[in-house]
Structure 1
Amino acid sequence: MTEAIAIVTGATGGMGREIVVDLARTHHVYALGRNDEALAELGALSNVTPVNSDLVADLLGEEAPSSVDRLTELTRVDVVVHAAAVATKFSVESARPVDWRDALDLNVVVPAELTRRLLPAIREAQGTVVFINSGAGRGSYGDNIVYAATKHALYALADGLRKAESVGGVRVSTVAPGPTDTPMLEGLYAQDGKEYRAGYFIEPVEIARAIRTVVDAGPSTQITDVSVRPRIEVGDRR
């Protein structure tokens, strides 16, 4: 039997490591990230190949060759999880064009371009593409418009890809976590000067479990949208 292959971006982030660990139980995982120490830890696991990659430079830049080139040489890819993202709070007043471009590049254009390059291998495997979205993808706040806009766009990307590729057997899913205990969320709280209480938020391993549900769906179905919420909503905490 041909070895199942998975590719995970943002593998060194708060959710990414748990996603890699879970998928490595049944797949050989190419774990993409920029933190050398975290990549080395992942590389020590069975069935994991760490790939140091600045995704924006490697996929959208003009330098050649890049660290992702070997991935496009794979003949089949069973799972792709797009977990890399950037989140910084901006209002319309405070954001500048570079802030919009930086967020859109990593959060939207990079997953679109990586998927495009991998499509032949994904089609060959009749694989599954998972986009990590956010509760912000269905709503926005005045001080978080840039991030929310990128996640709204990511829904459109996932919906369009699903419709374009379903006849060929490719499955596309959006997994949208609510507030999850990650360095990204901690950074947003710090930006607001708010107290961060890790116990209030979703544990990253729960996002990996949600992705496992998507990946293990039966051959006649696809789980297209998964919303993962805290057991108690943060705003309801007393």
Structure 2
Amino acid sequence: MADLPLALVTGATRGIGAAVARALAPTHRLLLGGRDADALGELAGTLPDARPWPIDLTDDEALEMATAEFGELDVLVHSAGVARLGTVETATDDDWRANFEVNVLGVVTLTRRLLPALRASKGHVVVINSGAGQNARPGWGPYAASKFAVRAFADSLREEESTLRVTSIYPGRTDTEMQQAIIADEGRAYEPERFLRPESVASAVLAAVSATGDAHPTEVILRPRGLV
């Protein structure tokens, strides 16, 4: 298995991140990033070549120590994220700060620290963005702003690092625990059949990282079928 490419997936404890880890497992060695070490260990135990990589992306000191070990890295999938919603009037400073700390600075800091390892393998960075990173809606300002920001980061990285491939994935609403919390805040009934499955998003990630060397998948947009 040592000849398989190495992929680091953040947000791997649940939802899209866990689905991405399962999708990549047959063809990659995996590092599973997230805050819940027990959940990471449980997932790793179900995969052929996976190790937990517990990390708090908002802890700069911990990130510096955790990334010092990398020599090469073939794939980096940013799936960790938070969604703190609210209007311009009602969203608090903490709401804005939480969205940007994880959704933007966590992505930026981890990518920057791993650039030497990614360059060494001419690697691939995949950013799980959101439909909110393309269209801002009322009540979604703090979250959408963070997703527009990480979109700009990915676009800049793609232009600046010519040896890397950088793909932004823009899924619509997806059946995850985060989505359940959002729907509850909106006061609506949860209808999972109306949303994408995490496995569908993971399939798009696998297709992007499996693209032949002459191809650079820059953006992938996914919406629930029938709700485009």
Instruction: Please state how far the C-alpha of 1:26 moved relative to its aligned partner.
Output: 1.2
Q: Deviations over 1:103-154 (max 9, x none)?
A: 1010001111100000001001000000011111111112110000011111
Q: Is the 8 Å Cα contact of residues 137 and 149 (structure 1) preserved in structure 2?
A: yes
Distance 1:161 1:114 in 2: 13
Gap regions ≥5 residues in structure 2: none
Specify the alignment match of 2:65 in structure 1. Answer: 69
TM-score, length basis structure 1: 0.91
Aligned length: 226
* 1:39 and 2:40 aligned: yes
In structure 2, distance between residues paired with 1:116 and 1:30 = 18
Map residues 69-218 of structure 1 onto 2, 5 A cutoff.
69-166=65-162, 169-218=163-212
- 5+ residue gaps, structure 1, are none
Task: Provide the rounded CA distance (Å) in 2 between the counterparts of 1:131 and 1:153.
Answer: 12
SS for the counterpart of 1:55 is coil
* Cα distance in 1, alignment partners of residues 65 and 72 from structure 2: 14
State whether residues 103 and 150 of structure 2, in contact with CA within 8 Å, keep that contact through their aligned partners in structure 1. yes
Which residue pairs with 1:15 in the alignment?
A: 16
Q: Deviations over 1:168-200 (max 9, x none)?
A: x21000011001100011100011111001111
- Give yes or no for contact 2:6–2:74 (8 Å, CA) kept in 1: yes
How has the CA–CA distance of structure 1 residues 24 and 69 changed in structure 2, closer, same or farther, with 3 Å as cutoff?
Answer: farther
SS at match of 2:125: strand
**Alpha-carbon distance in 1 for matches of 2:64, 2:116:** 15
Give the structure 1 partner of residue 7 of structure 2.
6
Whole-angstrom distance in 1 between the partners of 2:69 and 2:55: 16
1:68 CA drift (Å): 6.4
Amino acid at match of 1:54: D
TM-score (norm 2): 0.94
TM-aligned CA deviation for residue 55 of structure 1:
1.4
1:2 CA displacement: 4.0
- The separation in 1 between residues aligned to 2:85 and 2:18, in whole angstroms, is 24
Question: 1:175·1:225 contact (CA, 8 Å) conserved in 2?
Answer: yes
CA distance in 1, matches of 2:92, 2:198: 31
Distance 2:109 2:67 in 1: 13
Would you say 1:29 and 2:30 are equivalent positions? yes
Q: C-alpha displacement at 1:67, in angstroms? A: 6.4
Q: How large is the Cα RMSD of the aligned pairs?
A: 1.5
SS of the counterpart of 2:117?
helix
CA contact (8 A) 1:136 1:148 kept: yes
For residues 37 and 55 of structure 1, do their structure 2 counterparts lie closer, same or farther at Cα, with a shift above 3 Å needed?
same
Secondary structure, in 3 states, of the residue corresponding to 2:161? helix
State the one-letter code of the partner of 1:126. Answer: K
